[in-house]
Amino acid sequence: MLRRALSTLVASTVIAGCATTRVSFPNATPDKPLTVPAWEERPEGAGPFPAVVLLHGCHGVSESNHEWSRWFRDQGYVALVVDSWSPRGVGKTCDPSLPDIPNTERFDDAVGALRYLHRKPYVDRAHIGVIGWSNGGVFAIAVVNGPSLERARRRGVVLPEPGFRASVGVYPGGCYSLVEELVTRPLLVLLGDADDWTAPGPCVAMVEAMRRRGADATIVLYPQAYHYFDVIGQPRAYLPEVANHNKPNECCGATVAFDAGAFADARRRVAEFFGYHLRAR
């Protein structure tokens, strides 16, 4: 069952990326930048186009990430899928026995991706957004989170102006770590209310707390939807070997499943959200 479940999640990025352009860029880590590979999708024409940075989950860059990037391209965005795992020798796994990389590293990858896009004449640097899934979702939030940006500045990492204009977190991990913090740009969070990998409670608490402090933040819970509700073709399955913060006594295990209704609504909401915040008006 696990092998079947993962077949959709970790489909070959060589096959998925054949219509894309392979690129790379230095991340923003001071004094020792890492070269980070990425895949770029670009609409036809001279631009400048709005752009979106895509941050993968703990399974690494998947066919689902590439499918989203092609959809963004067709919507008129430059889409940049960032691969944080390959240059660090991390496999496509959520194995709890593997050491975590420092949180600053994925943050620095996202900043490097923004710098890369700023150098492209076909990108509208004033209208760049970010979207992340699961493990990548918390970093999509962090790069628009005021305290996270201040912590980065103290270690020499400064987001180039005007920064990311809007952020989407799809079943983002780590909401519990941001409950007392505050995003400074619009945020949309999407997850299933049956998700047992990204527990809805902390994400609801995070968004509600941020809204009370004046943030433009919205959360949508999809009834009876699980993690990977947007991974087309993903059968419902239980992944017993993946690390799960919500199960400290058991260590591991989470349910995943595609949900056609949740996926369609998520696509609609993302199109409207980025359309409003990233299109020049």
pLDDT at 248: 67
CA distance 255 to 226: 7
**CA distances (Å), origin 207, targets 182, 201, 223:** 9, 10, 18
Share of the chain above pLDDT 90, in %: 80
pLDDT at 280: 66
Say if residue 145's pLDDT is above 50.
yes
- Mean of the per-residue pLDDT values for the chain? 90
Output the pTM of the full model.
0.91
First-to-last C-alpha distance (Å) of the chain: 49
Q: What is the pLDDT of residues 81-137, one digit of tens each?
A: 999 999 998 877 687 777 778 889 999 999 999 999 999 999 999 999 999 999 999
Q: What is the pLDDT of residues 151-178, one digit of tens each?
A: 999 999 999 999 999 999 999 999 999 9
90 residue type, one letter: V
Say if residue 271's pLDDT is above 50.
yes
Indicate the DSSP class of residue 10: T
CA distance 37 to 263: 28
CA distance 2 to 8: 11
Say if residue 208's pLDDT is above 80.
yes
Residues in the chain: 281
Say if residue 148's pLDDT is above 60.
yes
| 102, 90 Cβ separation under 8 angstroms | no
**Domains plus CATH for the chain?**
13-226+260-276 (3.40.50.1820)
Dihedral pair phi/psi, residue 34, rounded to 5°: -100, 140
Contacts of 16 (CB under 8 A, 6+ apart): 62, 63, 66, 67
| 174, 200 Cβ separation under 8 angstroms | no
Model confidence band, residue 250 (pLDDT cutoffs 50, 70, 90): low
Say if residue 11's pLDDT is above 50.
no
| 254, 234 Cβ separation under 8 angstroms | no
Q: What is the pLDDT of residues 182-192, one digit of tens each?
A: 999 999 999 99
Contacts of 165 (CB under 8 A, 6+ apart): 126, 127, 128, 129, 185, 186, 277, 278
Q: What is the pLDDT of residues 15-60, one digit of tens each?
A: 333 347 999 999 999 988 999 999 999 999 998 999 999 999 999 9
CB atoms within 10 A of CB 276: 11
Comparing C-alpha atoms, which of 102, 119, 91, 67 is closest to residue 231? Answer: 67
| 188, 167 Cβ separation under 8 angstroms | yes
Say if residue 12's pLDDT is above 60.
no
Model confidence band, residue 69 (pLDDT cutoffs 50, 70, 90): very high
Indicate the DSSP class of residue 227: B
pLDDT at 184: 97
Say if residue 14's pLDDT is above 50.
no
**CA distances (Å), origin 210, targets 104, 185, 217:** 22, 11, 7
pLDDT at 17: 36
